[in-house]
Amino acid sequence: MIVILEGKDEFRLSERVSEFRLTVTPPEMSDINTTMLDGNVVTVEELLTSLSTVPFMADRRLVIVEGLLNRLSGVDKRSAGLKKDLAEWLNFPDLLTNLPPTANLLLIERESLPSNKFVSTISKLGQVEKFSPLRHRELLGWINTRCSKLGLNIERSAVTLIADSVGSELRLIDSELNKIKTYSRGRLITKEDITLMVPYVRQQNVFRVVDSVLEGRTRDALNASLMLIGLGESPSGIVRMIERQLRFLILAKNLLSRKIPPGDIGKHINLFGYPLQKTLEMEKKISQARIISMHDKLLKSNTRVREGKLTEQESFHLLISELR
């Protein structure tokens, strides 16, 4: 059996890999009969040897290879002068037709499959499953299905709040739903519960405010701000969170200018996971001068309120328009 998993939805794809691991029985023999290979360096001989090895006290072997098909995107039987590491794969499609019945080959491609004849021939020998990021409606369905699987009784508005605030970070959503299960004890989960128990909801809306400001989408920035206010946050609280995010951006930009590897940035600014990822994405969109200008406008907004020139709400709305 040959199966190709294609797509950037890491969480759903990894769950599918786990399901394939369960096909190797008995379960206690699964690890010893599962081989992981790096598609960027594996040779034809290494791969075929793994596929041809007789299962040890099990019904089959599972061989998982990641990135091989994209590596083979330059292979064409009509091409001359192929590098040795690619030329050895020319007969690979033919070799795959003679796999032993005990061999299961799982090919994982995080990027889109190359659109050339050679890779297309390999794809037709098995089944292709796609794992593209979920659209909003699909995400709502996924959350509902996940809640049912966990035995959670949840309001529709609560599901929508999770989808709108967290987006398609499925691993994070799954983690939060498991936490909610621990504390819900079978009762109905409401929108208010999500607001209280998922701190990420507020944080994500801060990212939306900052993203919208950076991209000049004043209306979107105001809408995201109003959602935060609706969750109980004050305008001054939102300003403080924006200031905090700007400080992270200044620190990240400074560290990157000093050639600190992106993977080490989190340890220096005490930021990890999705917030760090989002900060590094924002850093690419904005100049140091723009960050400082935005920070100055935040300080002026605070001064207006302290001096009584404008109310907190008035100054906040003015600030959002000034940050364009």
- In the block, residue with structure tokens 């040795």: 84
Res 203: pLDDT: 66
Amino acid 243: pLDDT: 84
pLDDT at 155 (0 to 100): 92
Out of 62-71, 216-225, 282-291, 296-305, which region has the weakest mean confidence (pLDDT)?
216-225
Contact 56, 32 (CB under 8 A): yes
Mean pLDDT value of segment 149-178: 86
Which domains can be identified in the chain, with CATH numbers?
A: 2-130 (3.40.50.300), 136-198 (1.10.8.60), 201-322 (1.20.272.10)
Structure tokens given for 35: 């081989």
**pLDDT tens per residue across span 129-152:** 999 888 888 999 999 999 999 999
* Phi/psi of residue 105, nearest 5 degrees: -110, 125
Beta strands in the chain (DSSP E): 2-6, 34-38, 61-66, 103-109, 127-130
Nearest residue to 302 via CA among 235, 228, 209: 235
* Strands 61-66 and 103-109, sheet pairing: parallel
Pull the structure tokens for residue 294: 């935005």
The rounded distance, in Å, linking the Cα atoms of 221 and 86 is 50
3-state DSSP assignment of residue 97: coil
Q: What is the pTM of this model?
A: 0.62
What integer pLDDT is reported at residue 63 of this predicted model? 93
Amino acid at 174: D
Mean pLDDT value of segment 69-97:
76
User: Looking at the predicted structure, is the pLDDT value of residue 200 above 80?
Assistant: no
pLDDT at 231: 65
What pLDDT score was predicted for residue 91?
Answer: 85
Q: What's the pLDDT at 319?
A: 87
Residue 261 pLDDT greater than 60, yes or no? yes
Of 73-77, 193-197, 219-223, 301-305, where does mean pLDDT reach its minimum? 73-77
Q: Is the pLDDT of residue 80 over 70?
A: no
Query: Which carries the bigger pLDDT value, residue 57 or residue 186?
Result: 57
The pLDDT value recorded for residue 79 is 56
Instruction: Determine the Cα–Cα distance for residues 131 and 16; give it in Å rounded to an integer.
Output: 10
pLDDT of residue 282: 84
- Summary mean pLDDT of the chain: 85
| Radius of gyration for the alpha carbons in the chain, expressed in angstroms and rounded | 26
The pLDDT of residue 290: 85
**Residue 239 has what pLDDT?**
82
Residue with tokens 């990894």: 14
What is the average pLDDT across 255-279?
A: 83
